[in-house]
Chains A and B, each alone.
Chain A
Amino acid sequence: SQTIHQWPATLVQPVGSPLSLECTVEGTSNPNLYWYRQAAGRGLQLLFYSVGIGQISSEVPQNLSASRPQDRQFILSSKKLLLSDSGFYLCAWMSGELFFGEGSRLTVL
């Protein structure tokens, strides 16, 4: 069966520090992968999606970037975090239906 892993689960970072969140999918090949952000009390905002290695589409202009170095690996990064980057980050993959990982909770202080 297919599973999706995200890490770290929780992190607290100072403003201006870098960020790297990692997501890997098991049990499938060439999945469509997504990064969503959920701010406190708000809905899911699509940040990036990828249909293949090296193919990234950005939905929202921000100081975040995404990369897909391998078929089943999706990374969300930032060079310098802002306070507004705080939130719950969710990786997901699509196979007819959208399946989510457990999320990474980021607090920027």
Chain B
Amino acid sequence: QKEVEQDPGPLSVPEGAIVSLNCTYSNSAFQYFMWYRQYSRKGPELLMYTYSSGNKEDGRFTAQVDKSSKYISLFIRDSQPSDSATYLCASLKTSYDKVIFGPGTSLSVIP
């Protein structure tokens, strides 16, 4: 079983829709959770970084962690064509531990 799993998609939504991206993880020692956005042929860029369970909001993006079910979510409100990218979830045990990535979900937002 991979430590971090993610539906690879592709996911296609109309502009303005609410997008829900999800990951599950198997290692209960994970405490830090991240979401990265990766445009084609570019390096990933950090979107959200959360510690333990709970919600974190940043503009149109909300990250949610449920440690009891080992479930990580990223919500994108009012999705835009510029949100079209691959979204990678990642987890680690301590803030300087190795980062374990999911395979990524490809998202297309159609104008």
Contacts and interface: CB of A to CB of B under 8 A. Distances in A.
Contacts of B88: 43-44
A43 B9 CA distance: 13
Interface string B34-52: 1000000111111001000
Contacts of B30: none
Interface in A2-35: 32, 34
Main secondary structure of the interface of A (DSSP, over half): strand
A96 interface: yes
A105 B104 CA distance: 18
A98 B96 contact: no
A44 B98 CA distance: 12
Given A32-B96, A46-B98, A96-B95, A101 B104 contact: no
Interface residues of B, number: 21
Contacts of B41: 88, 103, 105
22 contacts: A36-B101, A42-B103, A43-B101, A43-B102, A43-B103, A44-B101, A46-B98, A46-B99, A46-B100, A90-B43, A97-B34, A97-B49, A98-B90, A99-B46, A100-B43, A100-B44, A100-B45, A101-B43, A102-B42, A103-B42, A103-B43, A105-B41
Given A41-B8, A43-B6, A103-B43, 4 more contacts: A42-B103, A43-B102, A100-B44, A101-B43
